[in-house]
Amino acid sequence: MNKRHIGVLMTVLVPLLLLTGCADPTAQATMVPEVDAEQSGEAPAAEAPEEAVPQDAWQMIIESEVPQPVRMAGFMNESFGITGGATGAGKTHYSSDGGETWTMSEGSGGCIYGIEIVDEGTVWVCGRNTGASFSTPGGVRLSLDGGQTWEEPADYRVTPEYCPLSFLDAQIGWFVSGNQLNATFDGGATVRAIVLPEEGMHIAALSLLSETEGYLLGYDGVIYVTQDGGATWAPMKIDLQRFEGMKMYEAGDVGSSAMRFIDRETGVIVMSLLGENKESALVALRTTDGGQTWTGETLLEKLGTPFISHDGMYVTVSDLFSSWLRVFHYTGS
């Protein structure tokens, strides 16, 4: 059953259980304390914005309950979207009509943990390799026809957990497996490991801007920026104090944050936040000055798994515990 509306968002009590592996939601959450910049010696927090983004900057244009299992979902625009979920039934599904109808790609691997939509033809996914619940191979895979058919898996075995991806095209991209950052410049034929900026860092989200420029977001609210392919990194901290003590939520094997830099000045981050009293929110932050200041808006008063389109204009949010998804369109200046 599909429904569309633009209106008031409902407040939903958030369960504390999460998806584990390819099974039903059972895993527990992990909280990571926020870094104190002065004590740690890291870069100071970016200044709080003088004005908040108007509350109607992000407009919900799609709200839909889909029939297939959904762990990750993304829309490139108001029409074209991709989902992937748990078990063999969670093989890639694609829609060209705003989620009104979905078609399963039989050739995709099941148990999808990450998706990346470069354009309506070029789609990347990562998922568990062949398992008991499905027979087609997983790993890191590329589609050149919008998810209808899939190339053979790249020669790299991903671990069965959250694996964020950021690709520029069908050849060049970053992806994470087992909290290891990897780069490929030939469509996955060869993979090069990149040393993380901080030992023990847990990657919440990533964004590749060019062959040599990219961004990593940690669960402590620190963004690391490289301009030399990961040889060196510069930290940049986001000010989360405006959210009254809420901290970034680490959801284990599903994503709870997303980041996309469109150019060196313009970037969007969507993150799930959780407070000490279990209050929760999904917030969208936007910068137009390279991360010096950020404007913010609450999209939902609940946790979710976000995806940001390549142009930074569309945010897709899938529920952590159901097959509901919502798409927001940025209408601000």
Task: Give the model confidence (pLDDT) of 312-333 as tens digits.
Answer: 999 999 987 678 999 999 998 7
Cβ–Cβ < 8 Å for 240, 247? yes
Low-confidence ranges of the chain (pLDDT < 50): 1-21, 24-54, 132-133
pLDDT score at 244: 80
Instruction: Give me the pLDDT at residue 4, please.
Output: 43
What is the predicted pLDDT for the residue at 320? 72
Q: What angle do CA 73, 329, 284 make, to 5 degrees?
A: 75
What own/partner pairs with CB < 8 Å and gap ≥ 24 does 32-35 have? Answer: 32/202, 32/219, 32/220, 32/247, 32/248, 32/250, 33/220, 33/247, 34/220, 34/221, 34/240, 34/247, 34/248, 35/220, 35/221, 35/222, 35/237
Residue appearing with tokens 């927001």: 328
Fold type of domain 2-330: Neuraminidase (2.120.10)
Instruction: Report pTM.
Output: 0.82
User: Which class for 333: exposed (0-12), middle (13-18), buried (19 or more C-beta within 10 A)?
Assistant: exposed
What's the confidence (pLDDT) of residue 16? 34
pLDDT at 121: 97
Question: Helix/strand/coil (H, E, C) string of the chain?
Answer: CEECCCCCCCCCCCCCEEECCCCCEEEECEECCCCCHHHHCCCCECECCCCCCCCCCEEEEEEEECCCCCCEEEECCCCCEEEECCCHHHCCEEECCCCCCCEECCCCCCCEEEEEECCCCCEEEEECCCECCECCCCEEEEECCCCCCCCCCCCCCCCCCCCCEEECCCCCEEEEECCEEEEECCCCCCCEEECCCCCCCCEEEEEECCCCCEEEEECCCEEEEECCCCCCCEEEECCCHHHCCCEEEECCCCCCEEEEECCCCCEEEEEEEECCCCCEEEEEEEECCCCCECEEEEEECCCCEEEECCCCCEEEEECCCCCEEEEEEECCC
The pLDDT assigned to 131 comes to: 52
pLDDT at 155 (0 to 100):
66
Point out which residues pair with 248 in neighbouring strands. Answer: 273
pLDDT attached to residue 171: 96
Rounded CA separation 309/329 (Å): 10
Supply 18's token pair: 């999460």
pLDDT for res 34: 37
Q: Return d(Cα 15, Cα 6) in angstroms, integer.
A: 25
